[in-house]
Structure 1
Amino acid sequence: MAHVFAANDSGPRAKSDLSKKERGSFENLIMLCANCHTMVDKAPDAFPVKMMLSWKREHANKLQGLFGAVRLGDRASARQVVEPLLAENHAIFKQYGPHIDAARNPESGAAEQWRRKMLTRILPNSRRMLAILDANRHLLGGNERATLEQFRQHIDDLEAFHIEGNREDASRFPGELPKILED
């Protein structure tokens, strides 16, 4: 297990404003073999934070694709698997999203709560949906395939923002996604 940002202020990729808790958090850890761990720590400039977070995200996506998606026989069965994930994400967005009144109050903790929900529920649910929809692409119509690709870009943008700290605007959530696989 390696740290993206160093565990202490004198380590590779140190970030002094991180608390001890943040340094040991899941978001700041990455699994590497012993050789790679040594290599990234000895040459931190060659392995910047964004690169390491990208590795972590790509690995998580591969695992989710392996364990979270099955090919289903019909649209109704696929919809049955996707719909609860859509519903949970929508409920979280409505209750905690950046549009709520509390999000405008910097002392409310709403931004931290939204970030936690984004990292622990919305992004994993979305990655699972992508894996399921990719495995069942044969069930999608032409417009649904375009919606799936818009959703893929939306999730990539959200991950870049919430995981990698990229401050570019994210693409919009595709409005047609909640209707995917409905007959």
Structure 2
Amino acid sequence: MPLLAYDYCWRVNLACPRGAASPDLHTQRRLFAASAGYCQNPECECELFVDAEGKSVHVAEMAHVFAASERGPRGAGGLSKAARGAFENLVMLCANCHTIVDKAPAAYPDAMMLGWKSDHAEKLRALFGVIAFDSRQAAREAVEPILAKNRAIFEQYGPHIEAAENPESGAAERWKRKMLTHILPNNKRVLALLDANRTLLLGDERNTLEIFRQHVDDLEGFHIENLKNDAARFPIGIVSILGD
């Protein structure tokens, strides 16, 4: 199930002609979030989004651990089609790794592939530094650089820039790529950090956190699932959250 250039919507790109064994849109979103934009094979971990001749292209593919059919790679009897298309039975790989694991299934058993997924999640948690801090200042020092990075990306590539008015400039594709590879994963990191340090938040800040959570969810719905929605506005209070 190769993913094509961003000219096509994420929903079409991730579609799988497997009927009930095809993951639904919610599962597709979870897979994307779990990968954080990298192949989940620990020996690869290549970026799933690349720039090629001025176009942003993603090479991500959803790989079934137990095949979508009993006759496929790592086929297993007794699994329903819904179970085969569930989040727990899927990993996000680059096109090369997906081809390899399916052509040599004996070398890549189900336990190994599921291990890749859990190990990838542990690496991300460690990378994100999601811990409970002892003070508001320490928590702020962890959150602020991430928010600043997202702000800088928005100011340089956001849909408000002059180049975005020219459909041939490639600005829209660059913004889409920045959103998928940086802003959305960073938003998840901020949410994880704030949730882990919720006890340090004041009353108004907890409300700001929940508004930000809905903003993030709406952004994912738009950029990943191609849903047309009136996104919850970015709460300006998130910029100074955990501040003095």
Asked if Structure 1 and Structure 2 have the same fold, meaning a TM-score greater than 0.5 normalized by the shorter chain, the answer is: yes
Output the aligned Cα RMSD: 3.6
Look up the match of 2:62: 30
**Structure 1 residue 32 displacement after superposition:** 3.5
Look up the match of 1:119: 180
> 1:131-181 CA distances to partner (integer Å, 9 max, x unpaired)?
000000000000000000011000000001111111112111101110000
The amino acid across from 1:180 in the alignment is I
**Structure 1 residue 46 displacement after superposition:** 7.0
For residue 145 of structure 2, give the secondary structure of its aligned residue in structure 1: helix
TM-score for the superposition, normalised by structure 2: 0.56
Native 8 Å contact 2:150 2:183 kept in 1? yes
Q: Does 1:5 align with 2:15?
A: yes
Look up the match of 1:17: none
TM-score for the superposition, normalised by structure 1: 0.73
Look up the match of 2:234: 173
CA–CA distance in structure 2, aligned partners of residues 93 and 77 of structure 1: 25
The amino acid across from 2:134 in the alignment is G
Look up the match of 1:76: 137
CA–CA distance in structure 1, aligned partners of residues 229 and 91 of structure 2: 20
Q: Does 1:106 align with 2:163?
A: no
Native 8 Å contact 1:98 1:111 kept in 2? yes
Shift of the 23–46 alpha-carbon distance from structure 1 to 2, 3 Å rule, reads farther
**Structure 1 residue 30 displacement after superposition:** 2.6
The amino acid across from 1:75 in the alignment is R
User: Identity of counterpart residues, as a percentage?
Assistant: 48
CA–CA distance in structure 2, aligned partners of residues 73 and 31 of structure 1: 41
Native 8 Å contact 2:2 2:59 kept in 1? no
CA–CA distance in structure 2, aligned partners of residues 86 and 128 of structure 1: 10
Which protein is richer in helix relative to its size? 1
The amino acid across from 2:239 in the alignment is P
Which protein is richer in strand relative to its size? 2
**Structure 1 residue 31 displacement after superposition:** 4.4
Look up the match of 2:202: 141
Shift of the 152–158 alpha-carbon distance from structure 1 to 2, 3 Å rule, reads same
Shift of the 2–93 alpha-carbon distance from structure 1 to 2, 3 Å rule, reads closer
- Aligned positions, number: 160
> 1:106-141 CA distances to partner (integer Å, 9 max, x unpaired)?
111000000000000000111000000000000000
CA–CA distance in structure 2, aligned partners of residues 180 and 120 of structure 1: 24
Look up the match of 2:219: 158
